[in-house]
Structure 1
Amino acid sequence: MADETTPAPMNPDSSEATTPQLRRAVEQGEAYGRALQYMTQEVAHDGGEQEAGQYRIGYAIEDAEGMYHFHDGDLVWRNPEGENAHVEIAVRDAADGRFVPGLHVTATLVTPGGQELGPHVQELVWHPMLYHYARNWTLPEDGEYTLRVHVDPPTFMRHDEINGRRFTEPVDAEFTGVQIERGAEPVQPPS
């Protein structure tokens, strides 16, 4: 096992990434991956994940749900108003599995009848268990959809002059056979 000053095997020229640091990043990614698996396989109606470029892109389909939004400097609870599905997108670093924040993520759904809906921006959602990009959708029918996800290169700064040269190209992922059963779970916020 390397000590704290040994460069990471990923790139021995790096002055920033050591083997123990990268191991900790992988541990974070593994924890996020377990939470994502729980979300996609036990909570959501449907879900999955695939590799796309330097990312792993996952999705989960749930009933439309209420959420807090900022409006005029205050948090305001909004229940679904006609929306009947909640599409969640998780974008992870393919190298270590950690969630990648600060992305511009869009999604397009193709209905069972071939109608294309979107693309719509999937906003960053703070969730008590799992950061993700999401929005409520209004869908015309239940059934088997195609989900297309587009991720633009992030504009955030990257630390490490060697390993920081990543996430520079847009990527697309397509999921076929996405089972959607429309529904909404309006929940009143706690008083």
Structure 2
Amino acid sequence: MSQHRPPMDPNTSEATGPQLERARAQGEAYAQALKYMAEEVAHDGGTQQAGDYLVGYAIEDAEGMYSFRDGALSWVNPEEENVHVEIAVCDAADGRFVPAVGVTATLVTPGGEELGPYAQELVWHPMLYHYARNWVVPEDGEYTLRVHIDPPAFMRHDEVNGRRFTEPVDVEFTGVKIQRGAEPVTPPQP
């Protein structure tokens, strides 16, 4: 999963060489977690560079998660959902997770039927922030995964390096292996 990283300018009022080294160290830690998720936990996964981003995906069984409903956390198990699609959006320059982007995904079945696009929500995970949702897919097999990323509206430091993440990007992964399944989990009682 090693990728060529475009350079960042260390000679600005906001970015020094030591600061950028620390950012790259954060990105390397995130990359190791992403590699573990995509290659050892998930059924399938991979990465691809798209513009200012490195985009990763992981395919897992649908899973239960906490969600805010009526101002309180509620545990929600998959009902009909049978696949969990995770999307990681990283800074291509240093590998760190990019928050606050709009992520939508479309799956194309082996027979050519398009499912989606659906918004992928930000998921706090103990190991790896990502954008995800549970899906209902009609069959196991090799799918195409199309990911669209809208740029974030957050403010950016640095008059030089801050001029990134300004354009929407699209990335397509082919041969995505999907094996349907669900892992309903009863959360521990407080």
Partner of 1:6: none
Displacement of 1:10 in angstroms is 3.4
Partner of 2:125: 127
Runs of 4+ in 1 over 4 A off after TM superposition: none
The answer as to 2:154 corresponding to 1:156 is yes
Aligned pairs (5 A) from 1:39-54 = 39-54=37-52
Partner of 1:183: 181
Q: Secondary structure at the match of 2:98?
A: coil
Call closer, same or farther: CA 1:165–1:142 in 2, change over 3 Å: same
Q: Do 1:152 and 1:171's aligned partners in 2 also have CA atoms closer than 8 Å?
A: yes
Partner of 2:19: 21
TM-score computed with the length of structure 1 as normaliser: 0.94
- Unaligned stretches of 5+ residues in structure 1: 1-8
Total equivalences in the alignment: 183
Displacement of 1:12 in angstroms is 5.4
Q: Do 2:83 and 2:182's aligned partners in 1 also have CA atoms closer than 8 Å?
A: yes
CA RMSD of aligned residues (A): 1.0
- Unaligned stretches of 5+ residues in structure 2: 1-6
Same amino acid, percent of matched pairs: 78
Structure 2 Cα separation of the partners of residues 146 and 128 of structure 1 = 28
Q: Secondary structure at the match of 1:166?
A: coil
Please list the CA deviations of residues 38-90 of structure 1 after superposition, one character each: whole Å capped at 9, or x if unmatched: 00000000000000001000000000000000011100000001000000000
Structure 1 Cα separation of the partners of residues 179 and 42 of structure 2 = 11
- Which of the two has higher C-alpha Rg? 1
Task: Tell me which amino acid in the other structure corresponds to 1:109.
Answer: L
Displacement of 1:161 in angstroms is 1.8
Q: Secondary structure at the match of 1:89?
A: strand
Q: Do 1:57 and 1:92's aligned partners in 2 also have CA atoms closer than 8 Å?
A: yes
